Structure 1
Amino acid sequence: MAVIPVAIAGAPYEVRIKAGILAQAGRHCRPFVRKNRVAVVTDEHVAAKWRATVEASLAGEGIASQWLVLPAGEATKSWAHLAQTVDFLLGQEVERKDNVIALGGGVIGDLTGFAASMVKRGCGFIQMPTTLLAQVDSSVGGKTAINTPMGKNLVGAFHQPSLVLADPLALDTLPLRDTRAGYAEVVKYGLIDDAEFFEWCEANGEKLLAGDAQAREYAIARSVAAKARIVAQDEKETTGVRALLNLGHTFGHALEAETGFSDRLLHGEGVALGMVLAARFSARQGLMHGQDAERVVRHIGAVGLPASLRALGLDCDGRRLADHMLHDKKMDAGTLPFLLMRGIGQTFLAKDVDLGEVAAFLDEELAA
């Protein structure tokens, strides 16, 4: 079992990564459950595959579980389902020192974590991420949120989990498209500041996606360790260090908004294409060698992720996509910092990007 400590001041916790850990969830959760019952939030797809396993494991430790099963999909990160989740937790008489369980992908983790941050002014929660994206990214670091018609993740809170249990076996029950989407967040860590890991991804990415257990566990552990290191330096994204984790997200969130936060473009697919656009825009600005940018494009495309803006078939222009970015959480005093690259493993926060130039660049990409 790989154990990655997340050294948040005042709220440290562990990420435990092991094949089969969901079948041992009761033993791992027992020290974090004060009563002999716990509230669990999941979605209908995850419940069909993992509820019986987790429920039995908790029962084996004398812990009864009460379940809220929500619809699957990005649309669940809404005001309505947040209210439903809060009401469920209050109905279960959750107390401030209790932990609730989030069993699912990023949508369930974000929604449950945000609800936990509100109930009784903040109760605890345990993340059990079941997608690659959630295991390497959203379950770690304490960002919780819902979407609104104005944009993605605009209403939320920083609320760290008490424990994260990541089971690579859960990936075996996912559609390949979902695993590919999560893989985008793995590649991201190489592009941020670890060129050696990006090389590993180039050599092993297809093997990971094909189900190689060793490659999956290695990638999850290395990605979590990278995120833990960055989050420990800048928990609430005030110094610019944590902002590096948003590589690909400014472009990606604009694309998600344009496609209605729907299954037309999964979050990880948006991030993948966002990293392609960040690399190409960096090269266009003379910041990154064109060969490095195309290396990013080739790898993203080689693993089956979207690597061309035109291929999305969007009915809009670059200005409309740029306008979506005005609702980005990183907006600061009317300016929008961008994550750009000086090379592979050399991401930086640029604060002087002209959105007009971004719109013109996107027009070029839409027509390419």
Structure 2
Amino acid sequence: VGIGISGLIPGRSNPGNNPDLTKSRQNSQVQGSLSVAGAPESNLAAVVHTSQGDYRALVGRGLIAHLGDEARNAGLRGKAFLIADEAVFRVCVREVQESMEAAGFETHVLVLQSGETTKNLDKIRDIYAWLARLRAERQDVVLAVGGGVMGDAAGFAAATYRRGVPFIQVPTTLASMVDASLGGKVAVNLPEGKNLVGAFHQPKLVLSDIDTLKTLPDREMAAGWAEAIKHGLIMDPELLSTFEMEADRLFGLKDDLAVDVIRRSVAIKAEVVSADEFETGDTRVLLNYGHTIGHALESVSDYGQFLHGEAVSIGMMGAARICRDLGLITDELIDRQRALLERYKLPTSAPGMDVNAVLEATKSDKKSADGVIRWVVLEGSGKSSTRNDVPDDIVRSAIASLVGCRN
């Protein structure tokens, strides 16, 4: 099921032959929902309003220490089932567990392998078995600690186990902080495509501790900035300009400007989700700019060649080419987008990929209806819309420009 790791955290060893890393502790003095201090309000990036209830999205430094209190303030009780990415095991898992236990939650921990291969139904079945073995109940809470993959896997398990249990997102990558952890989309992959089996299951709390990014490799950091830059491209010209002018300060999280920009990006995502929770209108779909081609690149490469943000970066270049060929934007905006992405160390082409394979993979896009893809297009800097009348030859030409040469 998980990865049994012993010796890394004092007192937290693998119990017997159980491959799950588990640790439990009860505090009989703290039960039910308590009113506690929680994190300073200055860390509140947004309140997300949904049909499943409102929840807080917090962004700041040193926030994990407040996680247990924030969980209590969110009305959560019962046991806590922490599902963590092995990549953050040394970084913050102990602190997350101790924060939950200090607030009175009996806490169990499962560590899973990193990577997109964790997002499949076999792994979800293993999570179900772990929860069942530990007698998880509907009033308990699942915590997703890691990047977008862990949020998807843990979130989908929470959405479906016992017809749904509460869950908390504790994103530890920039990409998951600004995008994947917000909005309740949880899904797993099939061999036929990415995120084809999923649900809308809103978290009860999203807590993003910027300190967990300190050990994030540059490649992962860049992938996260791709999603935040996307927010500027589709709906916030001022944010886009900040990315252009302050790349050096932002990329390395050198000062609090980065925290402010991450909060703004989170607020944009929260506003969109609150307005169009189930992507039935014309708003939330805009967040998929670059994702149709990006998901196709991931699928064709068996999820092993590109990080999600890298694929989105390349996909945004393909989408921009489509926009130009539709007469919506000029080469100037294409060049501006490319230069910005490259300043953040992101790829803007995918040499060697098969044009036909990528084109075919776009047809599995979840935004399609009656076999017609709903493309997210730019109409200018910070302005976007959708089109469902994009000819295949324009799409093919855009993909060819990505895989054949830098265009």
TM-score, normalized by the shorter chain, greater than 0.5: yes
In the alignment, which residue of structure 1 is the partner of 2:312? 271
User: Partner of 1:309 in structure 2?
Assistant: 350
> Which of 173, 177, 184 pairs up with 2:219?
177
Q: Retained in 2: the 8 A contact 1:111–1:144?
A: yes
Offset at residue 100 of structure 1 (A): 1.3
Q: Which amino acid aligns with 1:278?
A: A
Q: Secondary structure at the match of 2:286?
A: helix
Aligned residues: 362
Among 353, 359, 368, the alignment partner of 1:322 is: 359
Contact 1:136 1:220 in 2 (8 A): yes
Q: Which whole-Å CA distance do the structure 2 matches of 1:364 and 1:45 have between them?
A: 35
Runs (5+) with no aligned partner, structure 2: 1-41
8 Å CA contact retained: 2:247, 2:343: no
Q: Show the counterpart of 1:86.
A: 128
- Residue 333 of structure 1 pairs with residue 376 of structure 2: no
Structure 2 match to 1:358: 395
Taking a change above 3 Å as real, the CA distance of residues 108 and 364 of structure 1, as seen in their structure-2 partners, is closer
1:39–1:92 contact (8 Å) kept in structure 2: no
**Which residue of structure 1 aligns with residue 150 of structure 2?**
108
**1-side partners of 2:298 and 2:52: how far apart?**
35
What is the CA–CA distance in structure 2 between the aligned matches of 1:334 and 1:61, rounded to whole Å?
Answer: 50
Q: Is residue 151–residue 171 contact of structure 2 (8 Å, CA) maintained in 1?
A: yes
Distance 2:381 2:128 in 1: 43
Separation in 2, partners of 1:365, 1:271: 12
1:296 alignment counterpart: 337
- Asked whether the equivalents of residues 168 and 213 of structure 1 are also in contact (C-alpha less than 8 Å), the reply is no
What amino acid sits opposite 1:14 in the alignment? R
Tell me, what secondary structure is at the counterpart of 1:11? coil
- What is the CA RMSD across the aligned residues, in angstroms? 1.4
Q: Give the alignment of 1:82-161 within 5 angstroms.
A: 82-161=124-203
Q: What is the alpha-carbon distance in structure 2 between the residues aligned to residue 213 and residue 120 of structure 1?
A: 44
3-state DSSP class of the match of 1:255?
helix
Is the Cα contact below 8 Å between 1:38 and 1:100 reproduced in 2? yes
Cα deviation for residue 210 of structure 1 reads 1.4
Shift in Å at residue 10 of structure 1?
4.0
Task: Kindly indicate whether residue 269 of structure 2 is the aligned counterpart of residue 232 of structure 1.
Answer: no
Which is further off, 142-151 or 52-61?
52-61
For residues 54 and 363 of structure 1, the distance between their equivalents in structure 2, rounded to whole angstroms, comes to 46
Deviation of residue 105 (structure 1)?
Answer: 0.7
| Residue in 2 that maps onto 1:25 | 67
User: Is 1:74–2:116 an aligned residue pair?
Assistant: yes
Q: Which residue of 2 aligns with 1:218?
A: 260
Q: Give TM-score, length-normalised by structure 1.
A: 0.95
* 2:322 aligned residue (276, 281, 304): 281
CA contact 2:87–2:114 (8 Å) conserved in 1: yes
**Inter-CA distance 281–56: structure 2 relative to 1 (3 Å threshold):** same
The one-letter amino acid paired with 1:349 is T
Read off the aligned partner of 1:306 and give its amino acid letter: P
Q: What is the Cα deviation at residue 65 of structure 1? A: 1.3
2 CA distance for matches of 1:73 and 1:353? 33
Q: Provide the secondary structure at the position in 2 that maps to 1:83.
A: helix
Q: CA contact under 8 A between 1:319 and 1:356: conserved in structure 2? A: no
1:203 equivalent in alignment to 2:245: yes
What is the SS of the residue equivalent to 2:279?
coil
Q: Write out per-residue CA displacement over residues 98-143 of structure 1, whole angstroms, 9 at most, x where no aligned residue.
A: 2211111101111111111111111110110000001000000000
- The structure that has the greater radius of gyration is 2
Question: Structure 1 residues 275 and 353 mapped into 2: Cα distance closer, same or farther (>3 Å)?
Answer: same
Aligned counterparts of 1:365 and 1:70: Cα–Cα separation in 2: 34
Distance 1:57 1:87 in 2: 26
Which residue pairs with 1:9 in the alignment? 51
C-alpha change, 1:364 and 1:62, in structure 2 (3 Å) is: closer
Distance 2:175 2:300 in 1: 21
Hey, what's the Cα distance between the residues in 2 that align with 1:33 and 1:233?
Answer: 26
Task: Return the alpha-carbon distance in structure 2 between the equivalents of residues 166 and 364 of structure 1.
Answer: 37
Q: Is the 8 A contact 1:140 1:228 kept in 2?
A: yes
Q: State the alpha-carbon separation in 2 of the partners of residues 334 and 326 from structure 1.
A: 7
Match of 2:8 in 1: none
**Which letter does structure 2 place at the counterpart of 1:97?**
Q
Return closer, same or farther for 1:259/1:61 CA change in 2, 3 Å cut-off. Answer: same
Letter in 2 for 1:309: A
TM-score w.r.t. the length of structure 2 is 0.86
CA distance in 1, matches of 2:399, 2:206: 38
- Distance between the aligned counterparts of 1:10 and 1:211, measured in 2? 34
Q: CA deviation at 1:26?
A: 2.0
**Which residue type is aligned with residue 46 of structure 1?**
V
Q: Is the 8 A contact 2:47 2:56 kept in 1?
A: yes
1:66 counterpart SS class:
strand
Mapped to 1, the partners of 2:153 and 2:217 lie a distance apart of 22
Mapped partners of 1:245, 1:361: distance in 2: 20
Runs of 5+ unmatched residues, structure 1: none
Which amino acid in 2 is paired with 1:287?
L
